[in-house]
A and B are shown apart, each in its own frame.
Chain A
Amino acid sequence: MTDLPDIEPLLTTLTERVAALAEAEGPARCTLVGIHQGGAWLAQALQQRLGWQEAPGTLDIAFYRDDLARGGLPGAVRPSKMPLDIDDRVIILVDDILYTGRTIRAALNEIFDYGRPAAVRLAVLLERPGRQLPIAADIVAAPIDLAPGQRVKLRGPDPLHLVIEEASP
């Protein structure tokens, strides 16, 4: 069984790196956007730790998935909430795990249906190998390598914690 890292140091690392990125981009231009569900919890935590006023946007990418014919929509699709105007802003897209890259591809497509941001930066808590698309994160709090058949999930929102699940055979 793979050992899980502690969540608190990961959150501290993620916050520091997002703060540095925002400083380089100009904090007033930056908007946090979390991908449901883990990414939305993380974006909320980041907003509090950074002391930003603006509530983060949230995306549920269910309508942008590329596998509808493989099993339909998930049970509950939460409406996406985005700031009214994202044109020329720097979107800091937040997710819990970066794995195949398909979720990020769907999120990028959805973001561009709201407007044309100046840039999209990707911040993730954990990154594991297995990319199926040419997508890379700008910020990673920690890498993780799992055994075949395992997956890692962020649970929350209070407290946020990581779990490893065995994929059903």
Chain B
Amino acid sequence: MSVQLNERGELRHFLTTEGLDPRLLTRILDTAESFAGVIGKSVKTVPLLRGRTVVNLFFESSTRTRTTFELAAKRLSADVLNIAVDTTTTKGESLLDMLRNLQAMQADMFVIRHDQSGAAEYFARHVNPGVAVLNAGDGWHAHPTQAMLDAYTIRQHKGAFEPLRIAIVGDIRHSRVARSQIHALNGLGAGEVRVIAPNTLLPADVDTLGTHVYNDLEAGLRDVDVVIALRLQHERMQGALLPGESEYFRHYGLTESRLRAAHPEAIVMHPGPINRGVEIDSELADGPRSVILDQVTNGIAIRMAVMTMVLGVQPDNPREAS
């Protein structure tokens, strides 16, 4: 059984979108939609997680992702700790010792970002019963809350997933975001998920992911309803996987004119931060088709939903004192 689900099929942790039941994926989106109304009040918090402690453990820096998790936890009235992981680990403390110490401080949830694939699951397997782990990105493996906020944004603008053609453009091979998006969108019943990239940026197992593969951008964009541009990491240039940023933009950069092949009402997305003029033209990123800022806003509601769901389930066993 998946470590992220309990015996009743409810979320105990949120580690990956792979293999999740469509009803559970939809439940996450529906719960997030409920939270979207919270920001209409003069007091923008609800007391659901009052008295609970959420620990942000970011072994890999990401100000924006950490901030949205922090804001989501605070909107739920939880107490939030941001741990300076580098300082702790350089003192020679093992990961498990760190985990045990934080649990002894009565932490209820860990939000973990790590450059090693599987790090979040490792934590999930070692936390006490009743303590939840959220994966905020691990190596090349998964970034499930990003995928769900993207799915939420797509549903917000396009409604049902079944009729949609969705294209993901860029470095699919090294992207945990793309991997989680593909699993989530297929799980939600999207009509067709396409990946568009040069062969050097496609994963070896691309044929097993349930996507249509394109090397040519304009062919891949034909008639799509949603285009998601991925962030290009600069180290891929140095790793000789690509000839250069301008060359990449010439072949795979999104522009208004290239998007003419897509459906006239196609929306454009990007998980951020954007390399303007590399993955996407500034005019398009700031234009009427862009829903990039909606993605940022929706990220808070999705993280509130997932935090509530994992802490709202009955622990399989009563919580043990650390």
Contacts and interface: CB of A to CB of B under 8 A. Distances in A.
Given A79-B36, A80-B37, 7 more contacts: A64-B48, A68-B308, A72-B313, A76-B30, A109-B47, A113-B41, A114-B43
10 contacts: A63-B35, A64-B46, A69-B312, A71-B312, A78-B34, A79-B33, A79-B37, A114-B41, A114-B42, A115-B42
Contacts of A78: 34
A108 to B, nearest CB: 12
A72 B10 contact: yes
Interface of A: 60, 62-65, 68-73, 75-82, 109, 112-115
Contacts of B34: 60, 62-63, 73, 76-79
Nearest to A62: B34
Interface string B1-34: 0000000001000000000000000010011011
Contact of B42 (A75, A76, A113): A113
A79 B46 CA distance: 12
B267 interface: no
Interface of B: 10, 27, 30-31, 33-38, 40-43, 45-49, 308-309, 311-314
Contacts of B49: 68
Contacts of B48: 63-65, 68
A73 B46 contact: no
3 A-B pairs with least C-beta separation: A79-B37, A72-B312, A77-B34
B307 to A, nearest CB: 11
Contacts of A70: 314
A81 B48 CA distance: 19
Nearest to A66: B47
A78 B303 CA distance: 18
Contacts of B36: 79
Contacts of B45: 113
Contacts, number: 59
A115 B309 CA distance: 28
Contact of A73 (B37, B41, B43, B312): B312
Nearest to A106: B47
A77 B47 contact: no
Contacts of A112: 43
Contacts of B312: 68-69, 71-73
B314 A71 contact: yes
B311 A69 contact: yes
A62 B36 CA distance: 14
Given A64-B47, A68-B308, A109-B47, A73 B42 contact: no
A36 to B, nearest CB: 11
A26 B46 CA distance: 32
Nearest to B30: A76
A136 B222 CA distance: 64
Nearest to A67: B312
B91 to A, nearest CB: 35
A42 B42 CA distance: 26
Contacts of A64: 46-48
A3 to B, nearest CB: 37
A82 B30 CA distance: 20
Contacts of B40: 79
Nearest to B309: A72
A113 B43 contact: yes
Contacts of B313: 72
Contacts of A68: 48-49, 308, 311-312
B47 A69 contact: no
B31 A73 contact: yes
Given A79-B36, A79-B37, A115-B42, A69 B309 contact: no
B246 to A, nearest CB: 46
A160 B38 CA distance: 29
Contacts of B46: 63-64, 113
A81 B30 CA distance: 17
Most buried by B among A79, A81, A82: A79
B186 to A, nearest CB: 24
